[in-house]
Amino acid sequence: MARLLTAFLLIVGTWAAYAQQSSTIYGCVDASGRRYYTNVKSDAEGKKCTIVQREVSVVPAQPAPAPKASAPAPGAAKVPQNTQKSRDEARRRILEEELQAADKQLAAAKQKLAEQEAVREGGERNYQRVLDRLKPYKAEVERQEQNVTQLKRELSNLR
């Protein structure tokens, strides 16, 4: 057991020495005046070399402070309740109109998809071609369904 521990410490010590040695990078100029870089100290000895980089421990950046909730300005006037109520009603009315229009567009998209599913063209013996032809119609139906869902969610969030 002691032999194993000694061998382990020897390996770790050698590795640590190698890691320390290779963490310094030297910038050297050879006899012909060309610049080269090395991390081997024996290559850098006796030549015009300068230490270019040493491994530096990096300090993590401080986390950004959480933004504070903005408080209303002290001199800001509150909107009268009647005005706010009329704004809310107008918003609800607009959203309901948009929802009705989106429902109509969804129904039209579903109808176009059904019409295209019923049609079989001569070159579509391969089922993948049918799927490729129907893909934009299915995408349109999905997009319209998402619009309707979003409008319903926004309506439910109103006061």
The per-residue pLDDT for 104 is 96
Please give the mean pLDDT across all residues of the chain: 81
Question: Has residue 7 got a pLDDT over 80?
Answer: no
Sheet holding 48-53, edge to edge: 35-38, 25-29, 48-53
The pLDDT, as a whole number, for residue 20 is: 53
pTM more than 0.95: no
Confidence of residue 141 (pLDDT cuts 50, 70, 90): very high
CB 113 within 8 A of CB 141: yes
Reported as a single tens digit per residue, the pLDDT across 66-112 is 787 777 677 677 888 898 889 999 999 999 999 999 999 999 999 99
